[in-house]
C-alpha cells in the first residue's frame, strides 16, 4: 500500500523534508560527531579466522623466537677458539661427539675443547659450542673425526634466542589488519587466538511496493531489487557482515516493524528508497520514533544522491540511501563506507587514482558535489582519456562498464572539455583496452566482438551516438567509430561524413520498419506508407517517436510529412524503448529495427535498410586488435551470427 498523504498533511511533509540541504562535508562531520568516539565491538577469534580483521589490542611477544640458540646450516657445532689457527695449509682435527642433533632433538653432550657435534639446520646449539661450521667446509677424517681448513668467528651460523622476536617486545599494535604475515608472527609466538574488532552487523532493507527479489517473476510495473544485493555486497567488501532482510512495501506499520526488528540485532541499519520528495516517504518519519538524536542530515548537496538521509538512533547509525541504484552506490561509498570502517576499527579505504583528460564538456549542477562515472581509453600519446559514461542515476550498467569516477566540485557548473582531472578507480589497476569502439551502439556489434573477447582481447565499446563517435575518431581517441548517418543531399549513408585520416569499413544493414502489436488490424498486411496513413487516420492511435539526431528519426519525419500525431513528443533514445512502448500498450506503433521488433514478439513492416558501418582511424589500422576486429567482421562465423539475429552483413 502506498501512503499518499492527505493534502493537509502534505505541506507539513514537504517542509519536513530537505529542510536544510547540507554540504557533503558538513553532513559527514555531523554524522561522525554523533557516532564517535565509541567503543569498538570486539571478539576473540581463532588465528585462521582472524584474517582481514583489525587487531583490537596490542600484542606483546610471550616468548623468544627462536626460543634457543639455533644452527642455521647443516654442519658441526664447534668452539670457535679451537679453530682460531685453522687455514688451507693448517687443518685442525676435531673429534666427533657421539650424538647427532637433529631438528627437535635436545642435545645431551657438551662440546668440549677439540670436539665437534654434528648438527642439522634448526638444531639447538649444545652447551660449550659457540659457532657452527658448514659441512661443506670440512673433510671427514675416519669415522669419528673431521678436518676443518678455515677459521670461524664466534656466533657463525647461529641464530640466537630472541634474535627474531624478543620476549616482551611489542609484536603487533591494535588496529593492525591481520594478513598472512601477521598470522605468521602470531603463530611463531604460539598465539592461537586473538582479540579483534568484531565484524559490524549491518542490516539491509530495501523499500518499495515495486520491488521483487531476483529469481522471482516480474509482474507489470515491477522491477528487481538491485540495491539490496549491491549494498549487502559493498558492506561485505568493507569488512562488515550484511544481514539482508529483503524488500518491505511502502507501508508505515510494516516498515516500522521491520526497522525495529533490524535494530534489535544489528549495529547499523541501511535502507534504500523512499527518500525522494513526495508520497511514500515514510522511513524518515519512522526514524524520529526509533531513538535519539534521530535525523542528522536529510538532503545532502551530492549528485547523484541528494535525498540521502543520515540518522543515529540510540547510538546506532540508520541510513536511508536514495532509491536509484547508482545514487545508492555513490552515497554508500562516499558517505557510509568511511563511517562503517571507522566503527569496525578498519583503516580508511585506499582507492587507486589516475590522472586523465575529459574529451567533452560535462555540465554540472552548481552547489552539489557531483560524481561522474567514466570509462578510460588511451589517447594518441598514451595519455588517459576519461569518457563520461553516465546514463543517469537510474542506470546500473554504467557502474559495471565504467572504470571509475571523477568529481566535480560543488562550486563548478561544468567541467570544460580538455580538463585534466583525477579519476578514482573502481579496481586497483587501470585496464587499458586493446580495442576501443566509440560511437553508435548496435546489438550486432557484440556478435562481432565476441570473437575478440574469446581470444583474450579486451574490447571497450562506448555508446555516444554516431556524431560523438566521429568526433572521437577525429581526435584519435578510438580505433573505430560505428556510425549510421544518412546524408540527405547525396541520399547515401556514412561516406559523406568521413574526413581525412578516416576510412570506411562496411558493417551491416539493419532493416528499419514499423512495429505494431500482432493482430492489430490497423496495420496487419499493409506496407509502411499505408500503415502510417492508417495510423494518422485514426485519432485514437498513439505513436512513439525517436530522439532528434537518431537516424530512425529522419525516416519517421519523412514518413509523417509534417504531421504531429498523438505520441510525437514521446521521444525515447533507443530501438528497444520503442518496442517496449508498443508491447506494453503505451503506444500503438513506432519505428525500430527488425531484430528488436522480432525479439519483442511484435509485428514488423519493413521500410528501408540502414547502413551501420565503421569509420576506421587509418593511423590505428595496423594495431593487432584492429586487425583482429576486421578479421572477425569478415569471418563466416560473425556473418552467420549477424544473419541469425536479423542483420544483413555488407
Ligand atoms: P524512491 O526513492 O523510493 O522514490 O525510489 C527512486 C527510484 O529508485 C524509483 O524508480 C525506484 O523504483 C527505484 N528504486 C528504489 N529502490 C530500489 C531498489 N532496491 N532496486 C532498484 N531500484 C530501486
Ligand atoms: Mg520507493
Distance CA 158, CA 71 (A): 5
Model pTM?
0.78
pLDDT value of position 278: 52
Please say whether the dihedral angle defined by the alpha carbons of residues 369, 373, 378 and 379, taken in this order, is positive or negative: negative
437, 481 Cβ separation under 8 angstroms: yes
pLDDT value of position 360: 83
Whose CA is closest to atom 15 on ligand 1?
Answer: 323
Distances (CA, A) of 349 to 238, 305, 340: 8, 20, 11
- How far, in Å, is the centroid of ligand 2 from the Cα of 207? 6
**Residues whose CB falls within 8 Å of the CB of residue 39, separated by 6 or more in sequence, listed in order:** none
pLDDT value of position 14: 44
Pocket probe mutation, ligand 1, options 212, 223, 320, max atoms within 8 Å of Cβ: 223
Q: In which element (H, E) is residue 447 found?
A: helix 443-454
pLDDT value of position 336: 96
Whose CA is closest to atom 23 on ligand 1?
Answer: 323
Distance CA 454, CA 465 (A): 26
286, 255 Cβ separation under 8 angstroms: yes
Whose CA is closest to atom 14 on ligand 1?
Answer: 323
pLDDT value of position 428: 79
- How far, in Å, is the centroid of ligand 1 from the Cα of 210? 8
pLDDT value of position 396: 63
Closest ligand to residue 226's CA: 1
Least Cα distance to 481 among 503, 452, 458 occurs for: 503
**Residues whose CB falls within 8 Å of the CB of residue 475, separated by 6 or more in sequence, listed in order:** 359, 379, 380
Q: Measured from the CA of 322, which atom of ligand 1 is nearest?
A: 2
Distance CA 198, CA 37 (A): 17
The residues placing their C-beta within 5 Å of ligand 2, an ion, are 208, 273-274
pLDDT value of position 557: 92
Pocket probe mutation, ligand 1, options 4, 208, 214, 278, max atoms within 8 Å of Cβ: 208
- How far, in Å, is the centroid of ligand 1 from the Cα of 323? 4
- How far, in Å, is the centroid of ligand 2 from the Cα of 273? 5
Q: Measured from the CA of 227, which atom of ligand 1 is nearest?
A: 19
- How far, in Å, is the centroid of ligand 2 from the Cα of 240? 25
pLDDT value of position 9: 46
Residue 182 burial by Cβ neighbours in a 10 Å radius (0-12, 13-18, 19+) = buried
- How far, in Å, is the centroid of ligand 2 from the Cα of 574? 26
Distance CA 296, CA 318 (A): 10
The binding-site residues of ligand 1, defined as CB within 6 angstroms of any ligand atom, are: 206, 208, 210-211, 223, 225-228, 272-276, 322-325
Q: Give the DSSP letter string of 166-234.
A: -TTSEEE-TT-B--HHHHHHHHHTT--EEEEEPPPEEEEEEE-TTEE-TTSPPPTT-EE--HHHHHHHH
Pocket probe mutation, ligand 1, options 206, 212, 324, max atoms within 8 Å of Cβ: 324
- How far, in Å, is the centroid of ligand 2 from the Cα of 280? 7
Distance from chain centroid for Cα 207 = 24
Distance CA 368, CA 25 (A): 11
The pLDDT tens digits of the residues spanning 228-238 come to 999 999 999 89
Segments of the chain with pLDDT less than 50: 1-17, 279-280, 393
Q: Measured from the CA of 247, which atom of ligand 1 is nearest?
A: 19
Distance CA 134, CA 285 (A): 79
Q: Give the DSSP letter string of 132-175.
A: EEEGGGEEE-SSSEEEE-S---TTTTEEPTTSSB-TTSEEE-TT
Peptide bond preceding 37 in cis form (omega within 30 of 0): yes
Place of cell 565484524: 199
- How far, in Å, is the centroid of ligand 1 from the Cα of 271? 11
Beta bridge partners of 94: 146
**Strand 241-248, strand 223-224: pairing:** unpaired
DSSP assigned state of 22? B
- How far, in Å, is the centroid of ligand 2 from the Cα of 571? 25
Ordered strands of the 316-321 beta sheet? 241-248, 201-207, 268-272, 316-321, 309-313, 293-298
Distance from chain centroid for Cα 83 = 65
115, 95 Cβ separation under 8 angstroms: yes
Peptide bond preceding 335 in cis form (omega within 30 of 0): no
Q: Measured from the CA of 324, which atom of ligand 1 is nearest?
A: 8
Least Cα distance to 477 among 501, 494, 496, 498 occurs for: 501
Distances (CA, A) of 164 to 63, 127, 160, 185, 348: 11, 21, 8, 10, 31
Q: Measured from the CA of 396, which atom of ligand 1 is nearest?
A: 21
Q: Is 309 helix (H, G, I), strand (E, B) or coil?
A: strand
pLDDT value of position 276: 61
Q: Measured from the CA of 272, which atom of ligand 1 is nearest?
A: 16
Amino acid at each position: 500500500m502506498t501512503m499518499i498523504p492527505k493534502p493537509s498533511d502534505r505541506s507539513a511533509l514537504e517542509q519536513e523534508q530537505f529542510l536544510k540541504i547540507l554540504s557533503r562535508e558538513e553532513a559527514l562531520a555531523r554524522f561522525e560527531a554523533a557516532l564517535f568516539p565509541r567503543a569498538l565491538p570486539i571478539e576473540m577469534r581463532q588465528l585462521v579466522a582472524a584474517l582481514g580483521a583489525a587487531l583490537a589490542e596490542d600484542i606483546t611477544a610471550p616468548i623468544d623466537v627462536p626460543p634457543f640458540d639455533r644452527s642455521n646450516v647443516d654442519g658441526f657445532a664447534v668452539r670457535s677458539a679451537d679453530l682460531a689457527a685453522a687455514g688451507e695449509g693448517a687443518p685442525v682435527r676435531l673429534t666427533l661427539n657421539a650424538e647427532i642433533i637433529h631438528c627437535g632433538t635436545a642435545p645431551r653432550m657438551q662440546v668440549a675443547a677439540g670436539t665437534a657435534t654434528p648438527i642439522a639446520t634448526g638444531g639447538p646449539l649444545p652447551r660449550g659450542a659457540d659457532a657452527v661450521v658448514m659441512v661443506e667446509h670440512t673433510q671427514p677424517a675416519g669415522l669419528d673425526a673431521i678436518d676443518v681448513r678455515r677459521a670461524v668467528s664466534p656466533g657463525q651460523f647461529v641464530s640466537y634466542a630472541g634474535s627474531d622476536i624478543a620476549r616482551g617486545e611489542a609484536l603487533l599494535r591494535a588496529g593492525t589488519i591481520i594478513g598472512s604475515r601477521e598470522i605468521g608472527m602470531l603463530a611463531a609466538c604460539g598465539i592461537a587466538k586473538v582479540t579483534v574488532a568484531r565484524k559490524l552487523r549491518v542490516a539491509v532493507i530495501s523499500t518499495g511496493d515495486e520491488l521483487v527479489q531476483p529469481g522471482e517473476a516480474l509482474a507489470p510495473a515491477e522491477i528487481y531489487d538491485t540495491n539490496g544485493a549491491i549494498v549487502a555486497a559493498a558492506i561485505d567488501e568493507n569488512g562488515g557482515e550484511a544481514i539482508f532482510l529483503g524488500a518491505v512495501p511502502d507501508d508505515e506499520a510494516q516498515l516500522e516493524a521491520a526497522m525495529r526488528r533490524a535494530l534489535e540485532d544489528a549495529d547499523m541499519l541501511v535502507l534504500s528508497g523512499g527518500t525522494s520528495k513526495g508520497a511514500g516517504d515514510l522511513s524518515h518519519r519512522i526514524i524520529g520514533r526509533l531513538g535519539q538524536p534521530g535525523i542528522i542530515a536529510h538532503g545532502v548537496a551530492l549528485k547523484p544522491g541528494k535525498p540521502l538521509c543520515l540518522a543515529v538512533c540510540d547510538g546506532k547509525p540508520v541510513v536511508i540511501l536514495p532509491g536509484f541504484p547508482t545514487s545508492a552506490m555513490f552515497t554508500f561509498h562516499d558517505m557510509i563506507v568511511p563511517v562503517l570502517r571507522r566503527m569496525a576499527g578498519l583503516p580508511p579505504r585506499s582507492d587507486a587514482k589516475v590522472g586523465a583528460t575529459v574529451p567533452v564538456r560535462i555540465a554540472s549542477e552548481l552547489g552539489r558535489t557531483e560524481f561522474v562515472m567514466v570509462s578510460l581509453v588511451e589517447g594518441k600519446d598514451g595519455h588517459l582519456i576519461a569518457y563520461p559514461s553516465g546514463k543517469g542515476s537510474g542506470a546500473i550498467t554504467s557502474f559495471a562498464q565504467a572504470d571509475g569516477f571523477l568529481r566535480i566540485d560543488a562550486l563548478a557548473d561544468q567541467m570544460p572539455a580538455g580538463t585534466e582531472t583525477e579519476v578514482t578507480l573502481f579496481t586497483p589497476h587501470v585496464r587499458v583496452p586493446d580495442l576501443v569502439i566509440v560511437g553508435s551502439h548496435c546489438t550486432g556489434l557484440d556478435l562481432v566482438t565476441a570473437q575478440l573477447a574469446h581470444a583474450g582481447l579486451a574490447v571497450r565499446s562506448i555508446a555516444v551516438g554516431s556524431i560523438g563517435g566521429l568526433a572521437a575518431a577525429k581526435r584519435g581517441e578510438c580505433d573505430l567509430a560505428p556510425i549510421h548517418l544518412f546524408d540527405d543531399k547525396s541520399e547515401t549513408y556514412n561516406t559523406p561524413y568521413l574526413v581525412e585520416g578516416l576510412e570506411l569499413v562496411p558493417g551491416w544493414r539493419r532493416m528499419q520498419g514499423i512495429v505494431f502489436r500482432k493482430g492489430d488490424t490497423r496495420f496487419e498486411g499493409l506496407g509502411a506508407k499505408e500503415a502510417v496513413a492508417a495510423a494518422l487516420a485514426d485519432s485514437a492511435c498513439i505513436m512513439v517517436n525517436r530522439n532528434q539526431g537518431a537516424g530512425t528519426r529522419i525516416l519517421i519525419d519523412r514518413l509523417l510529412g509534417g504531421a504531429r500525431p498523438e505520441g510525437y513528443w514521446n521521444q525515447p533514445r533507443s530501438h528497444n524503448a520503442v518496442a517496449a512502448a508498443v508491447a506494453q500498450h503505451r503506444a500503438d506503433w513506432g519505428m525500430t529495427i527488425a531484430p528488436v521488433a522480432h525479439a519483442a514478439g511484435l509485428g514488423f513492416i519493413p521500410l528501408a535498410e540502414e547502413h551501420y558501418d565503421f569509420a576506421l582511424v587509418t593511423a590505428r589500422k595496423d594495431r593487432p586488435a584492429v586487425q583482429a576486429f576486421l578479421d572477425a567482421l569478415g569471418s563466416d562465423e560473425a556473418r552467420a551470427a549477424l544473419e541469425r539475429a536479423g542483420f544483413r552483413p555488407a
